[in-house]
Structure 1
Amino acid sequence: MSSVISQPLRPLYTAGQTGEIDRRTVASGIEGFALMQRAAAGAWQHLRARWPEARSVSVLCGGGNNGGDGYVIAALAAQAGLSVQCLALKPMGELEGDAARAAAMARAAGAPVEEWQDDAALHGEAVVDAMLGTGLAGDVRGAYRQAIDAINRAGKPTLAVDIPSGLAADTGALLGVAVRADATVTFIADKLGLYTGRAPDHTGEVMFCPLGVDARAFDDIVPRGVLLSASRLAEAFAPRRRTAHKGDMGHVLVLGGAPGMGGAALIATQAAARLGAGKVSLATAPEHVGASLIRCPEVMAHGVCGGADLAGLVEQSDVLVVGPGIGQGAFGQAVLAAALESDRPLVVDADALNLLAARFTAERRDSWVLTPHPGEAGRLLGITAAEVEADRPAAAEALRRRYGGTIVLKGAGTLVAGPGGLGVCPYGNPGMASGGMGDALAGMLGALAGQRGMNDDSVRLGVLIHALAADMAARDHGERGLLASDLASCARRLINPGSDSLPSRYSLSSRY
């Protein structure tokens, strides 16, 4: 099976890169105010399509181009016959350039502009956040913080223009406080910070409007990352050759399950089997072998007591998954040491990561994938989980520089940092906040590495399938009570050509 996927992914940019693309676009002959009008028209169309019953709107405008977009939206709303409350966070007399021109346009259209007051009430049935754009640095303060709090307290349908005010465009971190929008319309170039970190709590549905600008045309501006897409699954999982046999599909060996900790390894092995591995073996504490045979008899379970029992098993395998349930005691240390002595590709998860940070600090290799959550990532880097979350992209790339290989930084908007750059997964749901989800992912990654090789595409596909399987399971039975064991059967449906089970919101015409 080919390990190369040709379909391009949507590029993601930083705030600085987006500003440079905007500047060059204007320099090429497109007037800045014309771009502002295009942006406002796009946002207005989405607002009307999403909340067609709204007969009034509150538009909160800042002082820059983001505020200018808001003033043009207010003008369009007034022209359409809506009652408009337009609140200026920056005094009208201090506006300059296109923002001042847009404010005059709003007034000319019959949208009265009022300066923000601390006790201002939002009267509109829908709210437009056009206060702070992508250039915000530092925590939100003063009137802007008060306005954000007012929007969030109001609980009304809210559209964010370009980015929710208070969300960091490059990282998805909160700058003190941020608007909780129901939808976000972003322009010119899509932004990395809309899809990771705290962003999912604040963006709502994300819609990208390029405004006729092709960011890719500026080929000297290298995107910060790419947005992973469910549309890649059909290309990646073409039908197998009719003569394929299990030897073609990889032999995955899961090393895990210290005494009394067998469940994680069983989850990983079943996930590997359901993702199409030709053979799956398990090296675990002897007491867990019976449970493995009952749960999934196709898995070849072996009882081991330490590293000396592993040599033959490792030699027979194509890829190792080490970490699920190994613990940090003598069993885990021996198992990880045996894995690190081999030349097999590795998927390193759970307590194997903690042992790597504490006892195997000199390790670095290209043929492995590390799958930390923020706490584990912090231990690997010698920083706190909060520092990891403050700049997830930087943390993922720091891990890759330190340890090599490919890094999967789990969490909302999982990041994949590998030789091909940074990938961001926009799928997944809060039901995944339960034990064993990481073990399922580790097994899936092992299965794909065995079939496709240990490379960027294998890891990105594994992350995609894991998140989409969780979304499918949540769609069928709800988020609460979602178990890691539920993902294996959903993942199998996703990777089989012709399956009609892919949720419609992940079609080629999806919001991403």
Structure 2
Amino acid sequence: MRTAHSVDAVRNAERELMARLPEGALMKRAAAGLATACAGLLKDLLGRVYGARVVLLVGSGDNGGDALYAGARLARRGAGVRVVPLAPGRTHPGGLAALLAAGGRVAEDPFEVLATADLVLDGITGIGGHGGLRPDALPVVRAARGGGAMVVAVDLPSGVEADSGEVTGEAVRADATVTFGTYKPGLLIDPGHERAGALRLVDIGLGPYLPSVPELEALQHADVARLLPVPVGESDKYRRGVVGVVAGSARYPGAAVLAVSGALRGGAGAVRYVGPGGEAVLARFPETLVHEGPPSGAGRVQAWAVGPGLGDGSWAAAAVADVLAADVPVLVDADGLRLLAERTVRERTAPTLLTPHAGEAAALLGVDREEVEAGRLAAVRELAARYGATVLLKGSTTLVAEPASGSASGSASGSASEPGAAPPVRVNPTGTPWLATAGSGDVLSGLAGSLLAAGLPARDAASAAAYLHGLSARLASRGAPVAADDVAAWLPEAWRNVVG
């Protein structure tokens, strides 16, 4: 599992560790890891370090010091290293002295050296920086990208907010980021994530001094494998869980089919479908248990997934209300999100999982879509707190948040967070841009609903579903366009890939 910690947590851990180390030792430790990573990248790029042309873009802080000490190490290995100071007179003195002693030089013409560089190190601002790049940094950053060099960010791309991934001005767009001690939330959440490139973590010994509960966590194969339901010899379809799906309409019958397709591949033993799309569902999936409605009359279920393609008519509104009155976990998606009331969700005693995209989240919060997309972490946390529900915010980086323990709905996750505190937000690492296709969210709804019915807590069901969904799309796509039906069809292969 990848974990990310806040700037305050990192700063506190650094202070505690530095108190136990000789002066300057922690920076040199970070620089050694940075130089090793850069040497590896140069070998991949050129087959060598000797003779490589390296340019350091250096600001006034410790981030610049890390770059300078790393540059000195590369210079001692034969690289031609030039530094472009962006805060002359305030450049880290020890780092600059080390670089010059190793044979590095201050660039006379920044644009000349950037035009021929093989690798550019972004050491302009670090995790303490706020706002976009300053105007004086923009020309050299643009020249670095325009010259075709590999751009490597030191700890965090300059211009990206470390705690949120927000970009409020212009920011460095790196090919790789070498970060120290722990991941920072802004490296894992868009728009910061897509500016960070490939991530490399350098262990500098902060681990024992960081909080045990991080700000953010990203599951990996082994973590998801531990969550997925596994039937035993005495299992039957009812013991494995039954998921109810309320989806589709005369206008959108395909939403019913796609939601059921995800549900059938999500680990529950049976799927009950309620809605106007029964004929289309049975034609595709004859194993489905179909009922015309209302949902409460369909038979016993262990969880409901409601909303995809329902429309906003009276039948849809009544169906959503009926489902939310049930004393079982409920997933609400798409049209269902427009038909629920905040008070209704907060008063539920069983878990509720809301799965909006940015536009739906904006409507629920009463803000512009652009605000949600720019501040995804703040938005998902606010939604979880306001509705007392687990929230899966779909998008280029999908986030899963849960309210603080003791909130009304959706809080039974078994997390190890402090009493009264919300557990870490989870960020999904799988997926492909090709997943942004009509109907893919319907598949995700059915899949997550099925995992709820199989017994997973809402936070785990959402996280595992997002992981499998993204992995399935990646396997189905392999660089080519995919349809939602392809994503559903590849879910068994994604499941096998995870459990190994």
Map of 1:281-292 to 2, 5 A cutoff? 281-285=272-276, 288-292=277-281
Which residue of 2 is the match for residue 302 of structure 1?
291
Q: In the TM superposition, what whole-angstrom CA distance separates every residue of 1:274-298 from its partner, at most 9, and x where no partner exists?
A: 122111021121xx32221221111
Instruction: Give the aligned residue type for 1:56.
Output: R
1:145 to 110, 118, 138: 138
How far apart are 1:195 and its partner, in Å? 0.8
Task: Choose from 426, 431, 441 the match for 1:438.
Answer: 441
Q: How does 1:23-422 map to 2 (within 5 A)?
A: 23-27=15-19, 29-31=20-22, 33-52=24-43, 53=46, 55-91=52-88, 93-95=89-91, 99-114=92-107, 121-214=114-207, 216-219=208-211, 222-237=213-228, 239-285=230-276, 288-304=277-293, 309-313=294-298, 315-356=299-340, 362-364=344-346, 365=348, 367-418=351-402, 419=411, 420=415, 421=423, 422=425
On the 8 A contact 2:10/2:210 being kept in 1, the answer is no
Query: In 2, Cα distance between the equivalents of 1:193 and 1:151?
Result: 22
Please report how far the alpha carbon of residue 211 of structure 1 lies from its aligned counterpart in structure 2 after TM superposition.
1.1
CA contact (8 A) 1:262 1:284 kept: no
- Could you list the structure 1 runs, at least 4 aligned residues long, displaced by more than 4 angstroms after superposition: 115-120, 359-362
Quote the offset at 1:408 in angstroms. Answer: 0.6
Q: Using a 3 Å threshold, how does the CA distance of structure 1 residues 116 and 148 change in structure 2: closer, same or farther? A: same
Q: Give the CA deviation at 1:454.
A: 3.5
Q: Which amino acid aligns with 1:235?
A: R
* More off after superposition, 411-420 vs 342-351: 411-420
Q: Offset of 1:465 from its aligned partner?
A: 1.5
| Maintained 8 Å contact 2:272/2:289 | yes
- Partner Cα separation in structure 1 for residue 229 and residue 257 of structure 2: 28
Question: Does structure 1 conserve the Cα–Cα contact (< 8 Å) formed by 2:163 and 2:184?
Answer: yes
Q: Could you tell me which of 3, 10, 20 is aligned with 1:11?
A: 3
Letter in 1 for 2:35: W
Note the C-alpha offset of 1:100: 1.3
Match of 2:13 among 13, 21, 32: 21
Q: Give CA-to-partner distance per residue, 1:441-499, whole Å, 9 cap, x none.
A: 11111111111243322222222212222222223xx2x4212222223322333xxx4
Task: Give the whole-Å Cα distance in 1 for the aligned partners of 2:242 and 2:101.
Answer: 70
Distance in 1, Cα, partners of 2:466 & 2:108: 47
Superposed displacement of residue 84, structure 1: 1.7
**Structure 1 range deviating more: 127-136 or 46-55:** 46-55
Pair 1:116–1:331, CA change in 2 (3 A): farther
**Which whole-Å deviations, capped at 9, do the CAs of 1:84-106 have from their partners, x for residues lacking one?**
22211110x223xxx21011100
- Provide the residue aligned with 2:420 in structure 1: none
TM-score (norm 1): 0.87
In 1, Cα distance between the equivalents of 2:10 and 2:372?
A: 24
Of 371-380 and 231-240, more deviation after overlay is shown by 231-240
CA distance in 2, matches of 1:49, 1:102: 22
CA 1:19 to 1:115, structure 2 compared with 1: closer, same or farther past 3 Å? farther
For residues 199-243 of structure 1, give each alpha carbon's deviation from its aligned partner in whole angstroms, at most 9, with x where no partner exists. Answer: 3321111111121221x5444x74212222222233334753122
> What is the DSSP-based 3-state SS (H/G/I as helix, E as strand, rest coil) of the residue aligned with 1:231?
helix
Change in 2 beyond 3 A, CA 1:31/1:444: farther
- Evaluate the alpha carbon distance shift between residue 379 and residue 50 of structure 1 in structure 2; reply closer, same or farther with a 3 A threshold: same
AA partner of residue 469 (structure 1): S
User: Per-residue deviation at 1:160?
Assistant: 1.1
Q: Retained in 2: the 8 A contact 1:319–1:449? A: yes
Identity in percent:
34
* Distance in structure 1 (CA, Å) of the matches to 2:147 and 2:9: 34
Residue range with higher mean Cα deviation, 232-241 or 66-75: 232-241
C-alpha distance in 2 between matches for 1:376 and 1:115: 52
- Contact 2:448 2:461 (8 Å CA) reproduced: yes
Secondary structure of residue in 2 paired with 1:94? coil
TM-score, normalization: structure 2? 0.89
The answer on whether the counterparts of 1:172 and 1:193 sit within 8 Å (CA) in structure 2 is yes
Work out which of the residue numbers 466, 471, 478 in structure 2 matches 1:463: 466
SS at match of 2:128: coil
Identify unmatched segments of 5+ residues in structure 2: 403-410, 416-422
- Segment of structure 1 superposing worse, 293-302 or 255-264: 293-302
Q: Is the 8 A contact 2:191 2:374 kept in 1?
A: no
Determine the C-alpha separation between the residues in 2 that align with 1:335 and 1:134.
48
